Each structure stands twice: as C-alpha cells, then as structure tokens.
A and B are shown apart, each in its own frame.
Chain A
Amino acid sequence: KAGVTQTPRYLIKTRGQQVTLSCSPISGHRSVSWYQQTPGQGLQFLFEYFSETQRNKGNFPGRFSGRQFSNSRSEMNVSTLELGDSALYLCASSQGQTNTEAFFGQGTRLTVV
C-alpha cells in the first residue's frame, strides 16, 4: 500500500507570492490534516478535512487555506507569502473519523526569500 505522498518536496518562493502544496493520502483514507513545523513553534495544526469538509482549523491567518477533493487528495494554499511562512509542511492521513492513527508524508520544505 502506498504511503502519504506530498509534492513538491522542496519549494523556494519570494515574499508576496502564493504557493499550493499537494497531498495524496493513503488509499481508502478519508481524513487529511495539515501541520506546520518550525524550529521555534514546533508542530502546529493547520486544518483537517474529512470527506471534502473542513472540520477543524488551527490558529492561522486567513492567508492559509485548503481544500479536499472527492478522491480525498488535498491541497493547501498560502497567499501573500511572508518570510515567517518558511517551514516544513506535513500532511497526515487517517482512515476513520475520530482519534484514528495518523500516517504522515515526508513533508514539503517551503523557503520564502
């Protein structure tokens, strides 16, 4: 069974630009969550999608958004990039609706210059 796939693995963008990151969950998994990992703040929850609906959102500005498609693949978008958005963005997929094991992708390393 293929794992969670995130693309691209690395990305360099300029301040003010926008970026879209992609996540393909494990086949059969309907929940996708996104996390931001930085040395200073650690791992912070961005949002979770289940069956194309956003169920939860973390404490991030509106520049951070996401969506989930009918095949459970998910994208997150960050608009008007700031230097502080440089981070490792991790996607996790889960099979069930509540408290189920999360499987993580390798992440997308975003650098904003």
Chain B
Amino acid sequence: GDSVTQMEGPVTLSEEAFLTINCTYTATGYPSLFWYVQYPGEGLQLLLKATKADDKGSNKGFEATYRKETTSFHLEKGSVQVSDSAVYFCALSDSEGNNRLAFGKGNQVVVIP
C-alpha cells in the first residue's frame, strides 16, 4: 500500500539555521502530498501541500516541492526560529480517491536560541 518514509531521529539546530527534513513516498497513483505540524498537546495543523508533480507548497517560510522522479517531498526553511520547535509529519493522500492519509513517523525539531 501507499507509504511515507521520513528520516530517522530528532533534529536539533540553532536559531536562524537552515532546516531540511527528508520525506520520500511510495504510491501506486498520483497522490497529493502534505506536511503537517504538531505542537505539544495539540492536534495536527496543515503546514503546506502540493497536489501534482513539480508543484511547490509554501507557508510561513517553509517550502516543499513535489518531485515525482525521486518520489520525494522534502521540507525546507531558510532560517528557523525557536517557535518552529514542533513535530513535523509528511503525509500523502490515498490514491483511491478518498480522504485517507498515510503519515510518516514524524520528526521532532528542536530550535535552540
């Protein structure tokens, strides 16, 4: 079935550093791709999305490009802030045309002042 793989382990970096979180996917069709963020004690919030190949999603300084040739959707931000500390999940929509989402394991991002 469809699946998402995120890089292992937490990510710790200093304020104003460059952030990259890798995400690759396996899907039989043409899914939409998403990045969600989860702050402590909260549900998930949609950060950005891309619905077709070569689309770039962007929001709050974060960007990710839908790369069909490498089946990837890496998340990047040029200069992180302490407030960006959270868990980030990559997800794809079911290829069978419903609202089911498959999530990666998530990455804890800790930004140190």
Query: Are A104 and B45 within 8 A (Cβ)?
Result: yes
B42 A106 Cβ-Cβ under 8 A: yes
Please measure, in the bound complex, the distance between the C-alpha atom of A50 and the C-alpha atom of B100, giving whole angstroms: 11
Q: Pick the interface stretch among B10-18, B61-69, B77-85, B103-111.
A: B103-111
Q: Within 8 Å of chain B (Cβ to Cβ): is A66?
A: no
Do B99 and A33 touch (CB < 8 A)?
yes
Task: Say yes or no for B89: interface residue by CB 8 A criterion.
Answer: yes
Chain A residues lying within 8 Å of B36, measured Cβ to Cβ, are 104
**Interface size class of chain B, counting residues whose CB lies under 8 Å from the partner chain:** 20 to 34
Across the interface, name the chain B residue whose C-beta is closest to A43.
B103
Q: Which of B31, B93, B100 has the most CB of A within 10 A?
A: B100
Question: Quick one: given A99-B32, A99-B51, A99-B93, are A33 and B100 in contact (CB under 8 Å)?
Answer: yes
In the complex, chain A residues whose CB is within 8 Å of the CB of B103:
35, 42-43
Contacts of B7 in A (CB 8 A): none
> Chain A, 17-50, contact with B by CB distance < 8 Å: what is the 0/1 string?
0000000000000010101000000110100101
Q: Which 10 A-B pairs have the closest CB atoms?
A: A104-B43, A43-B103, A104-B44, A98-B97, A99-B93, A94-B99, A106-B43, A42-B105, A99-B32, A31-B99
